Structure 1
Amino acid sequence: MPHMTVEYTNNLQGLNEAALMEQLNAAVCEHPTVTDEADVKTRIACLSNYRIGLNNAGRAFAHVELRLMAGRTAEVKKELSERIAAVLKRVIPAQEGLQVQLSVDIVDMDKPSYFKGKL
Structure 2
Amino acid sequence: MPHFIVEYTDNIKDEANIAKLLEEIHQVLITRNTVFPIGGLRSRAIELKEYRVADGTEEDAFVHAVLKIAAGRSKEIKKEVCGALFEVMKEHFSSLMSQRYLALSMELIEFNEEGTYKQNNIHARFKIFEN
TM-score range for the pair, normalised by the shorter chain length? 0.7 to 0.9
1:1-119 matched pairs, under 5 angstroms? 1-12=1-12, 13-31=14-32, 32-34=34-36, 36-55=37-56, 57-92=58-93, 93-94=95-96, 98-118=100-120
User: 2:16–2:96: 8 Å Cα contact kept in structure 1?
Assistant: no
C-alpha change, 1:95 and 1:3, in structure 2 (3 Å) is closer
What is the aligned-residue RMSD (CA, Å)?
A: 1.8
User: 1:28–1:83: 8 Å Cα contact kept in structure 2?
Assistant: no
Q: Deviations over 1:46-76 (max 9, x none)?
A: 1111111222514211111000001222221
Larger relative helix fraction: 2
C-alpha change, 1:28 and 1:52, in structure 2 (3 Å) is same
Cα distance in 1, alignment partners of residues 24 and 112 from structure 2? 27
Which letter maps to 1:107? I
Cα distance in 2, alignment partners of residues 59 and 76 from structure 1? 33
Query: Gapped runs of 5+ residues in structure 2?
Result: 122-131
Radius of gyration: which is bigger? 2
Once superposed, which parts of structure 1, at least 4 consecutive aligned residues long, lie more than 3 Å away? none
Cα distance in 2, alignment partners of residues 10 and 102 from structure 1? 14
SS in 1 for 2:15: coil
Q: Deviations over 1:8-37 (max 9, x none)?
A: 111224111211111111112212412x21
Aligned length: 118
Query: Gapped runs of 5+ residues in structure 1?
Result: none
Shift of 1:105: 0.5
Q: Give TM-score scaled by structure 1 length.
A: 0.87
SS in 2 for 1:71: coil
Cα distance in 2, alignment partners of residues 5 and 51 from structure 1? 20
User: 2:5–2:65: 8 Å Cα contact kept in structure 1?
Assistant: yes
Q: Give TM-score scaled by structure 2 length.
A: 0.80
Larger relative strand fraction: 1
Q: How many percent of aligned residue pairs carry the same amino acid?
A: 27
SS in 1 for 2:103: strand
Cα distance in 1, alignment partners of residues 89 and 101 from structure 2? 14
